[in-house]
């Protein structure tokens, strides 16, 4: 479950038909004031895609179940089934109808054999299946690009001198281009106190064609089941254009950064959304040997095609960590040069892992207690530091968002014989599902962090090989 969602105006119109785009790497959390507002919790979400507080309903308990199994496709990478069952009471004398937002910090699995575009997500209210809208990471990017571009254009138009210099640069003939570029750069440096790199970024902004994308962003899943209706395409590809050749993540960072040169508060729109949910841009992982959380390590050889194939569908966000430009992009050479200059002058490489938000609505009658269950599947992510592991990161519920939130009961199911460890206290139980699985259980008391469930890669592969031999 998670956060109450209030969708109003343009934001609601933009996201209602969004689909989930990728199965991604881990997304790690930080807690600016010691209290997370993250995945797995009930909380309200306002029109800026940020969580708000909820005091009427009470979460009696959560039963969190995670089961690791071999996927039918990309079977070398474990597929995790996550089920979060919440018991919620409405102690008030009035009915409470509430929109929930449930952020998933890495991608949701979509079975290719299903020939459908809907990912594996289900929400049950009692026994009733609730309609779910998925606000994809790409839609969030699209909204940020729209706002950032609007801010840049507004700031240019607000200054007659800057507007004249920008127009002069955009319309300059070849023999005038040098003087127009020098005049605009001098103004940005002397009057606005911009550094040379930021000035170069604005120059390229004036050269760019930011119409509809002509290439598929490299850092997004590009499966045969990819389809968007017209409204979704307008959101995802809007204000992207030729920047699709550097990927939607870096394109979004570029426009947000440039808008922030005029107003620093605008530069961190994406970070602000993540931080509001308790998030951070840094990928972390759980060290199964030491029991410590540390920066995630993911090494892959540039020409290791087998590894890239194995990764497809399980961790496409690795592409965002490569200073990549699609040389085959169908665009004029001047636009290619502009994109490459942007990559050269961006202060950091944009490495945010994806966040998607599930939106659903439920009505709680006065004095009743109901079950609400959110379930989904996702690929585990890889951490390559020895001993290499497959992991799932799950953000526990923020106690600060609720006046009353009961225990979180964890139950993890892994193939028998696979080495397992968890960042939350849990122990192997006597319960067994035949001889095929081991069960680990615990009660999560600390609700201010992210829990990691990790399996040793070597023992996982031994187990998969054993199962395959028996099946032959």
Q: What is the pLDDT of residues 43-65, one digit of tens each?
A: 333 446 666 677 888 989 999 99
For residue 172, pLDDT beyond 90: yes
For residue 87, pLDDT beyond 50: yes
Whether this model's pTM surpasses 0.85? no
Q: Which tens digit of pLDDT belongs to each residue from 354-411?
A: 677 778 889 999 999 999 999 999 888 888 889 999 999 887 755 456 778 888 999 9
Rounded Cα gap, residues 130 and 108, in angstroms: 18
**pLDDT given at position 381:** 86
Q: Which residues contact 368 (CB under 8 A, 6 or more apart)?
A: 89, 90
Q: Which of 451, 436, 460, 465 is nearest to 105 (CA)?
A: 451
DSSP 239-262: TTGGGGGG-HHHHHHHHHHHHHHH
**pLDDT given at position 122:** 93
Which whole number is the average pLDDT over 314-323? Answer: 45
Rounded Cα gap, residues 469 and 334, in angstroms: 56
Q: If pLDDT is split at 50, 70 and 90, which confidence band does 321 have?
A: very low
Task: Classify residue 323 by its DSSP letter.
Answer: -
Cβ neighbours of 452 (radius 10 Å): 23
**pLDDT given at position 304:** 52
Q: Which tens digit of pLDDT belongs to each residue from 13-41?
A: 333 333 222 222 222 222 223 222 322 23
Rounded Cα gap, residues 406 and 61, in angstroms: 4
Rounded Cα gap, residues 358 and 40, in angstroms: 11
**pLDDT given at position 224:** 27
Q: If pLDDT is split at 50, 70 and 90, which confidence band does 214 have?
A: very low
User: From the DSSP assignment, how many helices (H) and strands (E) are in the chain?
Assistant: 11, 20
Domain covering 3-136+355-471, topology: Immunoglobulin-like (2.60.40)
Q: Which tens digit of pLDDT belongs to each residue from 218-250?
A: 333 333 223 333 445 677 778 888 898 888 878
For residue 277, pLDDT beyond 70: no
For residue 12, pLDDT beyond 70: no
Cβ neighbours of 280 (radius 10 Å): 18
Tell me how many degrees the CA angle 333-336-340 measures, rounded to the nearest 5. Answer: 140
Bridge partners of 61?
A: 87
Which whole number is the average pLDDT over 338-366? Answer: 79
Rounded Cα gap, residues 298 and 313, in angstroms: 16
Cβ neighbours of 222 (radius 10 Å): 13
For residue 472, pLDDT beyond 80: no
Q: Which of 132-146, 199-213, 434-448 reaches the highest mean pLDDT?
A: 199-213
List the single range of 103-107, 189-193, 210-214, 465-469 with lowest mean pLDDT: 210-214
**pLDDT given at position 194:** 96
User: What is residue 123's three-state secondary structure?
Assistant: strand
Q: Which of 237, 240, 245, 228 is nearest to 340 (CA)?
A: 245
Record the tokens describing residue 440, joined without a space.
């680990």
Rounded Cα gap, residues 467 and 71, in angstroms: 13
Q: Where are the domains of the chain?
A: 3-136+355-471, 138-345
For residue 186, pLDDT beyond 90: yes
| Cβ(374)–Cβ(132) below 8 Å | no
| Cβ(187)–Cβ(214) below 8 Å | no
Sign of CA dihedral 89, 90, 95, 97: negative
**pLDDT given at position 153:** 94
Bridge partners of 45?
A: 5, 51
**pLDDT given at position 75:** 67
**pLDDT given at position 280:** 56
Q: Which helix (H) or strand (E) holds 451?
A: strand 450-456
User: Could you tell me what percent of the chain has a pLDDT over 70?
Assistant: 69
| Cβ(441)–Cβ(430) below 8 Å | no
Q: Which of 103-107, 275-279, 396-400, 448-452 reaches the highest mean pLDDT?
A: 448-452
């Amino acid at each position: 479950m998670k956060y109450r969602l209030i969708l109003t105006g343009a934001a609601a119109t933009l996201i209602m038909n969004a689909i989930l785009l990728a199965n991604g790497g881990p997304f790690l959390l930080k807690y600016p004031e010691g209290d997370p507002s993250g995945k797995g919790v009930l909380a309200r979400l306002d029109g800026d895609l940020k969580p708000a507080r909820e005091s009427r309903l009470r979460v009696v308990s959560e039963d969190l179940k995670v089961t690791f199994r071999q996927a039918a496709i990309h079977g070398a990478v474990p597929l995790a089934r996550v089920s979060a069952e919440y018991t919620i009471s409405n102690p008030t004398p009035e009915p409470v109808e509430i929109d929930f937002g449930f952020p998933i910090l890495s991608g949701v699995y979509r079975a290719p054999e299903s020939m459908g575009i809907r990912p594996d997500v289900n929400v049950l209210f009692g026994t009733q299946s609730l309609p779910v809208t998925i606000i994809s990471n790409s839609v969030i990017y699209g909204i940020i690009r729209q706002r950032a571009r609007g801010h840049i254009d507004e700031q240019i138009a607000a200054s007659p001198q800057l507007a004249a210099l920008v127009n002069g640069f955009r319309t300059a003939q070849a023999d005038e281009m040098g003087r127009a570029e020098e005049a605009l750069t001098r103004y940005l440096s002397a009057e606005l106190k911009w550094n040379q790199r930021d000035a170069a970024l604005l120059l390229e902004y004036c050269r760019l064609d930011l119409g509809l994308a002509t290439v598929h962003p490299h850092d997004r899943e590009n499966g045969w089941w990819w389809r968007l209706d017209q409204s979704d395409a307008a959101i995802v590809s809007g204000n992207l254009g030729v920047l699709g050749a550097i990927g939607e993540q870096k394109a979004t960072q570029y426009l947000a950064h440039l808008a922030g040169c005029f107003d620093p508060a605008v530069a961190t729109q994406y970070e602000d959304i993540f931080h509001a949910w308790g998030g951070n841009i840094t990928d972390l992982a759980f060290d199964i040997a030491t029991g410590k959380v540390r920066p995630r390590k993911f090494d892959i050889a540039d020409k290791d095609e087998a590894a890239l194939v194995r990764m497809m569908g399980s961790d496409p966000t690795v592409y965002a960590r490569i200073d990549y430009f699609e040389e085959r992009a169908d665009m004029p050479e001047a636009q290619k040069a502009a994109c490459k200059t942007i990559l050269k002058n961006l202060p950091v490489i944009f490495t945010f892992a994806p966040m998607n938000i599930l939106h659903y609505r439920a009505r709680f009658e006065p004095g009743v207690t109901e079950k609400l269950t959110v379930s989904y599947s996702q690929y585990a992510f890889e951490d390559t530091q020895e001993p290499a592991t497959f992991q799932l990161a799950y953000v526990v519920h923020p106690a600060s968002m609720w006046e009353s939130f009961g225990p979180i009961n964890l139950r993890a199911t892994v193939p028998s014989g696979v080495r397992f460890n968890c960042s939350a206290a849990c122990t192997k139980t006597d319960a067994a599902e035949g001889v095929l699985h081991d069960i680990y259980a615990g009660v999560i008391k600390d609700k201010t962090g992210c829990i990691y469930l990790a399996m040793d890669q070597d023992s996982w592969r031994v187990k998969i090989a054993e199962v395959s031999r028996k099946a032959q």
